[in-house]
Amino acid sequence: MLNYIFMIAITAEAMSGALAAGRRNMDIFGVALIAFITALGGGTVRDMLLGNFPVIWTQHPIYIYLTISAGILTMYIARYMRHLHKLFLVTDAMGLVAFTVIGCNVAIDLNYPTVVVIMAGITTGIFGGILRDIMCNRTPMVLLKELYASVSLIVALFYLSLRALEINHDLNLIASFSLGLSLRLAAIRWSWSLPVFSYEDEHWRGEESEKTDK
């Protein structure tokens, strides 16, 4: 079940990656690579961080074909995808929850401490999008004001709590998905956001280099 949701989720993530690549006028190869990295980059960073080799997708070529195909397909159907906007928000939210739960379980199986388990869940959930944005030369969206990464954190905490209470695992999954989806969709609907830190300085080191960048 989680596996099917995972397949749908990586497809949706790959498509969002392809659109980001399209905004940078990348060629078909760039689109395929960004689609792949957006969908499977979070899990890759998690596995590399935890020393979990072989990295999971290397043992499941289907994930590779699926994400690359979805990315390339997006080039041709992008114009029709606006109408699927809402479907995308739902699959993306499902993906966020699925990635988080899967990431937690990988770290649990490797006996990492609980705080690292939580971080593994969040890493799986958000690092694909972070890598996508770094490769498209923009500040990672998930670190800006939308309530996205924090949904991953809350889901990880909730899922691990129910797990500690030895609640039946299927029930736990249903509850975690319900919570994660509701939170994420409510956050979009009512524009919930976290407090933002805006800092401007004139006399701090780094300011000069900042200018050099421009």
* DSSP summary character for residue 26: -
DSSP bridge partners of 146: 193
Taking the complex as a whole, the smallest distance from the CB of residue 210 to a second copy amounts, in Å, to 6
Please say which residue, 14 or 20, places its beta carbon nearer to a second copy: 20
Contacts (Cβ under 8 Å, ≥6 apart) of 129: 13, 16, 38, 42, 140, 141, 142
* C-beta closer to a second copy: residue 29 or 161: 29
Whole-angstrom CA distances from 161 to 46, 145, 153, 164, 176 are 21, 27, 12, 5, 10
Q: Which is nearer to a second copy, 64 or 167 (CB)?
A: 64
CB of 56 vs a second copy, minimal distance in Å: 12
> Based on CB atoms, which residue is closest to a second copy, 61 or 168?
61
Evaluate whether 38 touches 13 at the Cβ level (below 8 Å): yes
As measured in angstroms, the least distance from the Cβ of 116 to a second copy is 5
Give the nearest distance from C-beta 92 to a second copy in angstroms.
9
| Residue placing its CB nearer to a second copy in the complex, 22 or 163 | 22
Alpha-carbon gap, residue 112 to 126, rounded angstroms? 20
CB of 190 to a second copy, least distance (A): 15
Contact indicator for 97, 39 with CB cutoff of 8 Å:
no
